A = this chain, B = another copy of it.
Amino acid sequence: MAKDFTKRSDDYSKWYNELVVKADLAESSDVRGCMVIKPYGFAIWEKMQAELDKMFKATGHSNAYFPLFIPKSYLSKEADHVEGFAKECAVVTHYRLKNDPEGKGVVVDPDAKLEEELVVRPTSETIIWNTYRNWIQSYRDLPLLINQWANVVRWEMRTRLFLRTAEFLWQEGHTAHSTKDEAIAEAEQMLEVYATFAERFMAMPVVKGIKTPSERFAGALETYCIEAMMQDGKALQAGTSHFLGQNFAKAFDVKFATKEGGLEHVWATSWGVSTRLMGALIMTHSDDQGLVLPPKLAPIQVAIVPIFKGEEQLKQITDKVNGLKKELLAKGISVKFDNRDTHKPGWKFAEYEFKGVPVRVAIGPRDLESNQLEIARRDTFEKNTVGFDSAADYIEKLLEEIQENLYSRANEHRVDNTRSADTWEEFKSLIDNEGGFVAAHWDGTDETEQKIKTETKATIRCIPLDQPDEEGTCIYTGKPSSKRVLFAKAY
Protein backbone atom coordinates (compact mmCIF):
# COMPACT_ATOMS: atom_id res chain seq x y z
CA MET A 1 0.00 0.00 0.00
CA ALA A 2 2.40 2.60 1.28
CA LYS A 3 5.24 1.73 -1.07
CA ASP A 4 6.13 4.51 -3.49
CA PHE A 5 4.23 6.80 -1.18
CA THR A 6 5.71 10.29 -0.93
CA LYS A 7 6.68 11.55 2.52
CA ARG A 8 5.06 14.73 3.85
CA SER A 9 8.45 16.31 4.48
CA ASP A 10 9.51 15.66 0.89
CA ASP A 11 6.51 17.17 -0.88
CA TYR A 12 3.36 17.87 1.10
CA SER A 13 1.28 18.59 -1.93
CA LYS A 14 2.34 15.43 -3.72
CA TRP A 15 1.78 13.42 -0.52
CA TYR A 16 -1.79 14.75 -0.37
CA ASN A 17 -2.60 13.95 -3.99
CA GLU A 18 -1.19 10.45 -3.71
CA LEU A 19 -2.99 9.76 -0.45
CA VAL A 20 -6.39 10.78 -1.82
CA VAL A 21 -6.01 8.40 -4.74
CA LYS A 22 -4.23 5.50 -3.04
CA ALA A 23 -6.57 5.45 -0.06
CA ASP A 24 -9.50 5.13 -2.49
CA LEU A 25 -11.07 8.43 -1.49
CA ALA A 26 -11.40 10.12 -4.87
CA GLU A 27 -9.85 10.44 -8.30
CA SER A 28 -9.95 12.79 -11.23
CA SER A 29 -12.45 12.03 -13.94
CA ASP A 30 -12.14 12.55 -17.66
CA VAL A 31 -14.28 15.66 -17.27
CA ARG A 32 -11.99 18.59 -16.59
CA GLY A 33 -11.96 19.54 -12.91
CA CYS A 34 -14.67 17.06 -11.90
CA MET A 35 -13.81 14.30 -9.47
CA VAL A 36 -15.18 10.85 -8.81
CA ILE A 37 -15.75 10.32 -5.09
CA LYS A 38 -15.01 6.63 -4.54
CA PRO A 39 -17.03 4.46 -2.14
CA TYR A 40 -14.56 4.73 0.74
CA GLY A 41 -14.28 8.49 0.43
CA PHE A 42 -18.01 8.85 0.00
CA ALA A 43 -18.65 6.78 3.14
CA ILE A 44 -16.69 9.39 5.13
CA TRP A 45 -18.62 12.23 3.48
CA GLU A 46 -21.90 10.44 4.30
CA LYS A 47 -20.91 10.33 7.96
CA MET A 48 -20.16 14.05 7.88
CA GLN A 49 -23.48 14.71 6.16
CA ALA A 50 -25.43 12.67 8.67
CA GLU A 51 -23.97 14.49 11.67
CA LEU A 52 -24.32 17.94 10.13
CA ASP A 53 -27.86 17.21 9.02
CA LYS A 54 -28.78 16.19 12.57
CA MET A 55 -27.31 19.45 13.88
CA PHE A 56 -29.17 21.52 11.29
CA LYS A 57 -32.45 19.85 12.17
CA ALA A 58 -31.81 20.21 15.90
CA THR A 59 -31.53 23.96 15.29
CA GLY A 60 -34.89 24.04 13.50
CA HIS A 61 -33.92 23.78 9.84
CA SER A 62 -35.65 21.71 7.13
CA ASN A 63 -34.23 20.44 3.88
CA ALA A 64 -35.63 21.33 0.48
CA TYR A 65 -34.44 21.20 -3.11
CA PHE A 66 -34.11 24.00 -5.66
CA PRO A 67 -33.29 23.79 -9.38
CA LEU A 68 -29.81 23.00 -10.66
CA PHE A 69 -30.16 25.68 -13.31
CA ILE A 70 -30.33 29.44 -12.84
CA PRO A 71 -31.49 31.79 -15.61
CA LYS A 72 -28.52 33.90 -16.59
CA SER A 73 -30.33 37.15 -15.86
CA TYR A 74 -30.84 36.24 -12.18
CA LEU A 75 -27.12 36.42 -11.53
CA SER A 76 -26.99 40.10 -12.35
CA LYS A 77 -29.87 41.10 -10.08
CA GLU A 78 -27.69 41.57 -6.98
CA ALA A 79 -24.86 43.91 -7.92
CA ASP A 80 -22.09 42.60 -5.67
CA HIS A 81 -23.11 39.03 -6.29
CA VAL A 82 -22.65 39.25 -10.04
CA GLU A 83 -19.16 40.68 -9.57
CA GLY A 84 -18.17 37.86 -7.23
CA PHE A 85 -19.86 34.90 -8.82
CA ALA A 86 -21.31 35.16 -12.24
CA LYS A 87 -18.20 34.64 -14.27
CA GLU A 88 -16.71 31.16 -14.11
CA CYS A 89 -19.81 29.06 -14.64
CA ALA A 90 -20.96 26.15 -16.75
CA VAL A 91 -23.41 27.62 -19.25
CA VAL A 92 -26.19 25.57 -20.84
CA THR A 93 -27.07 26.99 -24.23
CA HIS A 94 -28.89 24.09 -25.96
CA TYR A 95 -31.32 21.39 -24.99
CA ARG A 96 -30.91 18.77 -27.68
CA LEU A 97 -28.36 16.67 -29.50
CA LYS A 98 -28.96 15.03 -32.85
CA ASN A 99 -27.31 12.39 -34.96
CA ASP A 100 -24.35 13.82 -36.82
CA PRO A 101 -25.43 14.15 -40.47
CA GLU A 102 -21.93 12.89 -41.33
CA GLY A 103 -22.53 9.81 -39.20
CA LYS A 104 -19.97 10.59 -36.49
CA GLY A 105 -21.91 10.15 -33.27
CA VAL A 106 -23.97 13.11 -32.08
CA VAL A 107 -23.77 16.87 -32.47
CA VAL A 108 -25.53 19.78 -30.82
CA ASP A 109 -28.79 20.55 -32.56
CA PRO A 110 -28.56 24.21 -33.60
CA ASP A 111 -32.36 24.42 -33.68
CA ALA A 112 -32.50 23.68 -29.95
CA LYS A 113 -30.97 26.90 -28.69
CA LEU A 114 -32.36 28.24 -25.43
CA GLU A 115 -33.87 31.70 -25.50
CA GLU A 116 -32.10 32.54 -22.28
CA GLU A 117 -28.98 30.64 -21.31
CA LEU A 118 -29.00 28.70 -18.04
CA VAL A 119 -26.12 28.63 -15.63
CA VAL A 120 -25.38 25.54 -13.54
CA ARG A 121 -25.71 26.88 -9.98
CA PRO A 122 -22.43 28.11 -8.49
CA THR A 123 -24.48 28.86 -5.33
CA SER A 124 -28.24 29.28 -5.02
CA GLU A 125 -29.01 32.63 -3.39
CA THR A 126 -30.56 34.04 -6.56
CA ILE A 127 -32.89 31.20 -7.46
CA ILE A 128 -33.85 30.67 -3.83
CA TRP A 129 -34.66 34.32 -3.13
CA ASN A 130 -36.64 34.44 -6.34
CA THR A 131 -38.66 31.53 -4.88
CA TYR A 132 -38.93 33.02 -1.39
CA ARG A 133 -40.77 36.00 -2.86
CA ASN A 134 -43.82 33.75 -3.21
CA TRP A 135 -43.34 31.99 0.11
CA ILE A 136 -43.11 35.02 2.34
CA GLN A 137 -46.00 37.40 2.79
CA SER A 138 -46.30 38.00 6.50
CA TYR A 139 -44.28 37.87 9.70
CA ARG A 140 -46.13 34.59 10.32
CA ASP A 141 -44.12 33.05 7.47
CA LEU A 142 -40.86 33.93 9.22
CA PRO A 143 -38.31 32.76 10.09
CA LEU A 144 -37.87 30.49 7.09
CA LEU A 145 -35.05 28.07 7.93
CA ILE A 146 -34.09 25.97 4.93
CA ASN A 147 -31.07 23.95 3.90
CA GLN A 148 -30.28 22.05 0.73
CA TRP A 149 -27.71 19.34 0.02
CA ALA A 150 -26.64 19.80 -3.56
CA ASN A 151 -23.95 19.76 -6.20
CA VAL A 152 -22.62 23.09 -7.44
CA VAL A 153 -20.24 24.03 -10.25
CA ARG A 154 -17.60 26.75 -10.39
CA TRP A 155 -15.32 26.56 -13.37
CA GLU A 156 -11.96 26.52 -11.59
CA MET A 157 -8.86 26.55 -13.73
CA ARG A 158 -6.51 24.91 -11.23
CA THR A 159 -8.24 22.09 -9.43
CA ARG A 160 -7.21 19.70 -6.64
CA LEU A 161 -9.19 16.72 -5.39
CA PHE A 162 -11.63 17.81 -2.67
CA LEU A 163 -9.89 21.17 -2.13
CA ARG A 164 -10.93 22.85 -5.34
CA THR A 165 -12.96 21.07 -7.97
CA ALA A 166 -15.24 22.38 -10.70
CA GLU A 167 -18.16 20.35 -9.38
CA PHE A 168 -18.41 19.78 -5.67
CA LEU A 169 -20.98 18.62 -3.15
CA TRP A 170 -22.11 20.88 -0.36
CA GLN A 171 -24.95 22.06 1.77
CA GLU A 172 -26.23 25.58 1.56
CA GLY A 173 -28.50 27.01 4.22
CA HIS A 174 -30.69 29.95 3.23
CA THR A 175 -32.74 31.61 5.95
CA ALA A 176 -35.14 34.54 6.04
CA HIS A 177 -35.89 36.64 9.12
CA SER A 178 -38.04 39.55 10.19
CA THR A 179 -35.27 41.43 12.01
CA LYS A 180 -31.62 42.24 11.53
CA ASP A 181 -30.71 40.96 14.97
CA GLU A 182 -32.38 37.62 14.39
CA ALA A 183 -30.52 37.16 11.10
CA ILE A 184 -27.19 38.00 12.70
CA ALA A 185 -27.94 35.58 15.54
CA GLU A 186 -28.70 32.88 12.96
CA ALA A 187 -25.44 33.48 11.07
CA GLU A 188 -23.54 33.29 14.37
CA GLN A 189 -25.42 30.19 15.47
CA MET A 190 -24.49 28.35 12.27
CA LEU A 191 -20.86 29.36 12.72
CA GLU A 192 -21.05 27.71 16.14
CA VAL A 193 -22.60 24.60 14.60
CA TYR A 194 -19.75 24.37 12.10
CA ALA A 195 -17.11 24.91 14.79
CA THR A 196 -18.68 22.28 17.02
CA PHE A 197 -18.84 19.82 14.15
CA ALA A 198 -15.22 20.46 13.18
CA GLU A 199 -13.93 20.05 16.71
CA ARG A 200 -16.17 17.27 17.98
CA PHE A 201 -16.40 15.06 14.90
CA MET A 202 -13.44 15.98 12.69
CA ALA A 203 -11.17 16.41 15.74
CA MET A 204 -10.03 19.57 13.99
CA PRO A 205 -9.54 22.72 16.07
CA VAL A 206 -10.71 25.90 14.33
CA VAL A 207 -10.48 29.65 14.84
CA LYS A 208 -13.85 31.40 14.62
CA GLY A 209 -13.70 34.83 13.10
CA ILE A 210 -15.05 37.30 10.59
CA LYS A 211 -13.65 37.99 7.18
CA THR A 212 -12.29 41.37 6.17
CA PRO A 213 -14.51 43.30 3.72
CA SER A 214 -12.40 42.27 0.74
CA GLU A 215 -12.77 38.57 1.58
CA ARG A 216 -16.53 38.68 2.19
CA PHE A 217 -18.95 36.55 0.21
CA ALA A 218 -20.32 38.41 -2.81
CA GLY A 219 -23.45 40.11 -1.51
CA ALA A 220 -22.83 39.69 2.23
CA LEU A 221 -22.60 42.40 4.88
CA GLU A 222 -20.62 40.11 7.15
CA THR A 223 -18.95 36.77 6.53
CA TYR A 224 -18.20 34.56 9.51
CA CYS A 225 -15.74 31.72 9.04
CA ILE A 226 -13.92 28.89 10.68
CA GLU A 227 -10.25 28.57 9.79
CA ALA A 228 -8.22 25.44 10.41
CA MET A 229 -4.47 24.92 10.24
CA MET A 230 -3.14 22.13 8.08
CA GLN A 231 0.00 20.15 8.95
CA ASP A 232 2.12 22.23 6.58
CA GLY A 233 1.15 25.40 8.45
CA LYS A 234 -1.19 26.66 5.76
CA ALA A 235 -4.69 27.77 6.63
CA LEU A 236 -7.84 26.22 5.23
CA GLN A 237 -11.22 27.95 5.32
CA ALA A 238 -13.50 25.14 6.46
CA GLY A 239 -16.91 26.79 6.55
CA THR A 240 -18.58 30.17 6.14
CA SER A 241 -21.79 31.75 7.38
CA HIS A 242 -23.01 34.99 5.87
CA PHE A 243 -25.21 37.76 7.14
CA LEU A 244 -26.68 39.05 3.89
CA GLY A 245 -28.63 42.02 5.25
CA GLN A 246 -31.53 42.91 2.97
CA ASN A 247 -29.49 42.73 -0.22
CA PHE A 248 -31.12 39.69 -1.76
CA ALA A 249 -34.56 40.61 -0.46
CA LYS A 250 -34.22 43.95 -2.24
CA ALA A 251 -32.82 42.42 -5.41
CA PHE A 252 -35.70 39.92 -5.58
CA ASP A 253 -38.36 42.10 -3.99
CA VAL A 254 -39.12 39.94 -0.96
CA LYS A 255 -41.18 41.89 1.56
CA PHE A 256 -43.28 40.90 4.54
CA ALA A 257 -46.19 42.44 6.41
CA THR A 258 -45.01 43.20 9.95
CA LYS A 259 -47.07 42.54 13.07
CA GLU A 260 -47.65 46.29 13.22
CA GLY A 261 -49.04 46.40 9.70
CA GLY A 262 -45.99 47.76 7.89
CA LEU A 263 -44.23 46.28 4.86
CA GLU A 264 -40.51 45.59 5.11
CA HIS A 265 -37.75 43.77 3.29
CA VAL A 266 -36.72 40.45 4.75
CA TRP A 267 -33.30 39.85 6.38
CA ALA A 268 -31.20 36.95 5.13
CA THR A 269 -28.37 34.57 5.91
CA SER A 270 -26.66 31.82 3.98
CA TRP A 271 -24.07 29.30 5.14
CA GLY A 272 -22.26 26.32 3.72
CA VAL A 273 -19.68 23.63 4.03
CA SER A 274 -18.57 21.35 1.23
CA THR A 275 -16.58 18.26 0.26
CA ARG A 276 -13.59 20.55 0.86
CA LEU A 277 -13.94 19.36 4.46
CA MET A 278 -12.61 16.02 3.23
CA GLY A 279 -9.36 17.78 2.27
CA ALA A 280 -9.23 19.46 5.67
CA LEU A 281 -9.79 16.15 7.45
CA ILE A 282 -7.01 14.46 5.51
CA MET A 283 -4.49 17.27 5.99
CA THR A 284 -5.21 17.58 9.70
CA HIS A 285 -4.46 14.03 10.80
CA SER A 286 -2.88 11.80 8.18
CA ASP A 287 0.77 10.76 8.16
CA ASP A 288 3.49 9.11 6.08
CA GLN A 289 1.82 5.73 6.58
CA GLY A 290 -1.43 6.94 5.05
CA LEU A 291 -4.80 8.15 6.13
CA VAL A 292 -5.64 8.76 9.78
CA LEU A 293 -9.34 9.09 10.57
CA PRO A 294 -11.04 10.25 13.75
CA PRO A 295 -13.18 7.32 14.96
CA LYS A 296 -16.38 9.38 14.80
CA LEU A 297 -16.06 9.71 11.03
CA ALA A 298 -14.40 6.41 10.17
CA PRO A 299 -16.59 4.15 7.98
CA ILE A 300 -14.86 1.16 9.56
CA GLN A 301 -13.89 1.76 13.17
CA VAL A 302 -12.46 -1.67 13.89
CA ALA A 303 -10.93 -4.13 11.43
CA ILE A 304 -10.49 -7.68 12.66
CA VAL A 305 -7.90 -9.73 10.78
CA PRO A 306 -7.79 -13.48 11.35
CA ILE A 307 -4.44 -15.21 11.07
CA PHE A 308 -5.14 -18.72 9.91
CA LYS A 309 -4.08 -21.70 7.90
CA GLY A 310 -6.93 -23.67 6.42
CA GLU A 311 -10.66 -23.73 6.85
CA GLU A 312 -10.66 -25.34 10.28
CA GLN A 313 -8.58 -22.59 11.90
CA LEU A 314 -10.64 -19.91 10.21
CA LYS A 315 -13.80 -21.52 11.52
CA GLN A 316 -12.50 -21.57 15.10
CA ILE A 317 -11.45 -17.93 14.87
CA THR A 318 -14.74 -16.96 13.25
CA ASP A 319 -16.75 -18.57 16.04
CA LYS A 320 -14.72 -16.68 18.60
CA VAL A 321 -14.83 -13.37 16.71
CA ASN A 322 -18.58 -13.47 16.14
CA GLY A 323 -19.19 -12.87 19.83
CA LEU A 324 -16.87 -9.87 19.88
CA LYS A 325 -18.44 -8.47 16.71
CA LYS A 326 -21.85 -8.68 18.31
CA GLU A 327 -20.66 -6.91 21.45
CA LEU A 328 -19.07 -4.13 19.40
CA LEU A 329 -22.10 -3.68 17.16
CA ALA A 330 -24.28 -3.43 20.26
CA LYS A 331 -22.09 -0.53 21.35
CA GLY A 332 -22.69 1.16 17.99
CA ILE A 333 -19.17 0.41 16.79
CA SER A 334 -18.69 -0.49 13.13
CA VAL A 335 -16.62 -3.62 12.58
CA LYS A 336 -15.19 -5.34 9.56
CA PHE A 337 -14.12 -8.96 9.94
CA ASP A 338 -11.84 -9.48 6.98
CA ASN A 339 -11.93 -13.22 6.36
CA ARG A 340 -10.86 -13.08 2.72
CA ASP A 341 -8.51 -15.85 1.73
CA THR A 342 -7.32 -13.95 -1.31
CA HIS A 343 -5.00 -11.73 0.71
CA LYS A 344 -2.41 -12.40 3.45
CA PRO A 345 -2.73 -10.90 6.96
CA GLY A 346 0.28 -8.63 6.38
CA TRP A 347 -1.34 -7.22 3.27
CA LYS A 348 -4.52 -6.58 5.24
CA PHE A 349 -2.64 -4.86 8.08
CA ALA A 350 -1.04 -2.54 5.56
CA GLU A 351 -4.37 -1.89 3.88
CA TYR A 352 -6.21 -0.90 7.06
CA GLU A 353 -3.28 1.17 8.24
CA PHE A 354 -3.18 3.03 4.95
CA LYS A 355 -6.92 3.57 4.97
CA GLY A 356 -6.87 5.01 8.46
CA VAL A 357 -9.00 2.44 10.26
CA PRO A 358 -8.64 3.59 13.90
CA VAL A 359 -8.36 0.17 15.54
CA ARG A 360 -7.03 -3.07 14.11
CA VAL A 361 -7.46 -6.39 15.86
CA ALA A 362 -5.41 -9.48 14.99
CA ILE A 363 -6.30 -12.96 16.18
CA GLY A 364 -4.54 -16.25 15.46
CA PRO A 365 -4.53 -19.83 16.77
CA ARG A 366 -2.20 -19.00 19.69
CA ASP A 367 -4.53 -16.18 20.75
CA LEU A 368 -7.40 -18.63 20.82
CA GLU A 369 -5.43 -20.76 23.27
CA SER A 370 -4.51 -17.86 25.53
CA ASN A 371 -7.96 -16.27 25.12
CA GLN A 372 -6.58 -12.90 24.12
CA LEU A 373 -5.95 -10.80 21.05
CA GLU A 374 -3.73 -8.05 19.71
CA ILE A 375 -5.18 -4.58 19.44
CA ALA A 376 -3.33 -1.88 17.49
CA ARG A 377 -4.26 1.80 17.32
CA ARG A 378 -3.68 3.71 14.10
CA ASP A 379 -2.84 7.12 15.56
CA THR A 380 0.20 6.06 17.62
CA PHE A 381 0.84 2.55 16.20
CA GLU A 382 0.79 1.28 19.79
CA LYS A 383 -0.12 -2.40 20.17
CA ASN A 384 -1.50 -4.19 23.19
CA THR A 385 -2.47 -7.72 24.03
CA VAL A 386 -5.86 -7.71 25.65
CA GLY A 387 -7.91 -10.45 27.27
CA PHE A 388 -10.74 -11.54 25.04
CA ASP A 389 -13.49 -10.93 27.54
CA SER A 390 -12.58 -7.31 28.16
CA ALA A 391 -11.80 -6.57 24.50
CA ALA A 392 -15.09 -4.84 23.61
CA ASP A 393 -14.87 -2.44 26.54
CA TYR A 394 -11.21 -1.84 25.84
CA ILE A 395 -11.93 -0.99 22.20
CA GLU A 396 -14.79 1.31 23.10
CA LYS A 397 -12.53 3.28 25.43
CA LEU A 398 -9.69 3.20 22.93
CA LEU A 399 -11.83 4.76 20.21
CA GLU A 400 -12.69 7.65 22.52
CA GLU A 401 -9.05 8.02 23.42
CA ILE A 402 -8.02 8.13 19.76
CA GLN A 403 -10.66 10.75 18.99
CA GLU A 404 -9.33 12.91 21.84
CA ASN A 405 -5.71 12.30 21.02
CA LEU A 406 -6.20 13.39 17.42
CA TYR A 407 -7.81 16.59 18.59
CA SER A 408 -5.08 17.40 21.12
CA ARG A 409 -2.34 16.59 18.65
CA ALA A 410 -3.88 18.90 16.05
CA ASN A 411 -4.50 21.56 18.64
CA GLU A 412 -0.95 21.40 19.87
CA HIS A 413 0.27 21.78 16.32
CA ARG A 414 -1.91 24.83 15.89
CA VAL A 415 -0.84 26.45 19.15
CA ASP A 416 2.83 25.78 18.35
CA ASN A 417 2.41 27.37 14.95
CA THR A 418 0.48 30.46 15.93
CA ARG A 419 2.83 33.37 16.56
CA SER A 420 2.65 37.10 17.03
CA ALA A 421 4.53 39.64 14.98
CA ASP A 422 4.91 43.30 15.92
CA THR A 423 7.13 44.57 13.14
CA TRP A 424 7.12 44.16 9.39
CA GLU A 425 10.49 42.37 9.42
CA GLU A 426 9.33 39.98 12.08
CA PHE A 427 6.12 39.36 10.14
CA LYS A 428 7.89 38.65 6.86
CA SER A 429 10.37 36.36 8.51
CA LEU A 430 7.64 34.36 10.25
CA ILE A 431 5.57 34.01 7.09
CA ASP A 432 8.57 33.03 4.99
CA ASN A 433 10.39 30.78 7.43
CA GLU A 434 7.89 29.42 9.93
CA GLY A 435 4.51 29.47 8.21
CA GLY A 436 1.48 28.91 10.40
CA PHE A 437 -0.79 31.66 11.69
CA VAL A 438 0.69 35.06 12.45
CA ALA A 439 -1.31 37.40 14.70
CA ALA A 440 -0.52 40.99 13.84
CA HIS A 441 -1.99 44.47 13.83
CA TRP A 442 -3.47 45.83 10.62
CA ASP A 443 -4.76 49.29 9.86
CA GLY A 444 -8.11 48.04 8.56
CA THR A 445 -7.74 49.15 4.93
CA ASP A 446 -8.17 47.06 1.77
CA GLU A 447 -5.07 48.73 0.39
CA THR A 448 -2.74 47.54 3.13
CA GLU A 449 -4.29 44.06 3.08
CA GLN A 450 -3.66 43.84 -0.65
CA LYS A 451 -0.07 45.05 -0.38
CA ILE A 452 0.76 42.54 2.35
CA LYS A 453 -0.75 39.81 0.18
CA THR A 454 1.27 40.84 -2.85
CA GLU A 455 4.53 41.03 -0.91
CA THR A 456 4.19 37.89 1.21
CA LYS A 457 1.36 35.76 -0.28
CA ALA A 458 -0.17 35.80 3.22
CA THR A 459 -3.83 36.79 3.49
CA ILE A 460 -5.90 37.84 6.46
CA ARG A 461 -7.68 34.60 7.33
CA CYS A 462 -9.98 36.26 9.80
CA ILE A 463 -10.48 38.74 12.59
CA PRO A 464 -10.83 36.23 15.45
CA LEU A 465 -14.00 36.52 17.51
CA ASP A 466 -12.58 35.25 20.78
CA GLN A 467 -9.72 37.61 21.46
CA PRO A 468 -9.24 40.61 23.70
CA ASP A 469 -8.94 44.10 22.25
CA GLU A 470 -5.36 45.29 22.17
CA GLU A 471 -4.05 48.65 21.07
CA GLY A 472 -1.18 48.50 18.58
CA THR A 473 0.12 49.74 15.27
CA CYS A 474 -0.21 48.21 11.81
CA ILE A 475 2.83 46.12 10.92
CA TYR A 476 2.81 47.56 7.42
CA THR A 477 1.80 51.24 7.76
CA GLY A 478 2.32 51.93 11.45
CA LYS A 479 -1.21 53.30 11.70
CA PRO A 480 -3.18 52.61 14.88
CA SER A 481 -5.10 49.33 15.26
CA SER A 482 -7.37 48.07 18.03
CA LYS A 483 -6.98 44.32 17.57
CA ARG A 484 -4.82 41.71 15.95
CA VAL A 485 -5.92 39.78 12.90
CA LEU A 486 -4.75 36.35 11.78
CA PHE A 487 -2.52 36.12 8.71
CA ALA A 488 -1.47 32.95 6.90
CA LYS A 489 -0.81 31.45 3.52
CA ALA A 490 -3.89 29.48 2.65
CA TYR A 491 -5.40 26.71 0.55
Contacts and interface: CB of A to CB of B under 8 A. Distances in A.
Given A42-B62, A65-B169, A120-B68, A108 B93 contact: yes
Given A39-B63, A75-B97, A105-B82, A151 B68 contact: yes
Contacts of A155: 95-96
Contacts of A402: none
A107 B46 CA distance: 37
A106 B67 contact: no
Interface in A51-89: 62-73, 75-76, 82, 86-89
A457 interface: no
A35 to B, nearest CB: 7
Given A36-B131, A167-B68, A96 B87 contact: yes
A128 to B, nearest CB: 9
Nearest to A135: B38
A351 to B, nearest CB: 13
B92 A65 contact: no
B64 A42 contact: yes
Binding site secondary structure of chain A: mixed
Contact of A29 (B27, B87, B96, B127): B127
Contacts of A163: none
Contacts of A90: 69, 92, 94-95, 118
A140 B93 CA distance: 44
A205 to B, nearest CB: 28
A153 interface: yes
A119 interface: yes
Contact of A89 (B86, B97, B130): B97
Q: Report the interface size class on chain A.
A: 35 or more
Contacts of A118: 31, 90
A82 B103 CA distance: 13
B106 A29 contact: no
A151 B69 CA distance: 11
Nearest to A77: B105
A357 to B, nearest CB: 16
A37 interface: yes
A103 to B, nearest CB: 10
Contact of A39 (B75, B95, B146): B146
Given A89-B97, A92-B91, A97-B87, A131 B67 contact: no
A117 interface: yes
A73 B105 contact: yes
Interface of A: 27, 29-31, 34-39, 42-43, 45-46, 62-73, 75-76, 82, 86-98, 105-106, 108, 117-120, 127, 130-131, 134, 140, 146, 150-151, 153, 155, 167, 169, 342
Given A86-B97, A90-B95, 6 more contacts: A29-B127, A42-B62, A76-B105, A89-B95, A90-B94, A93-B94
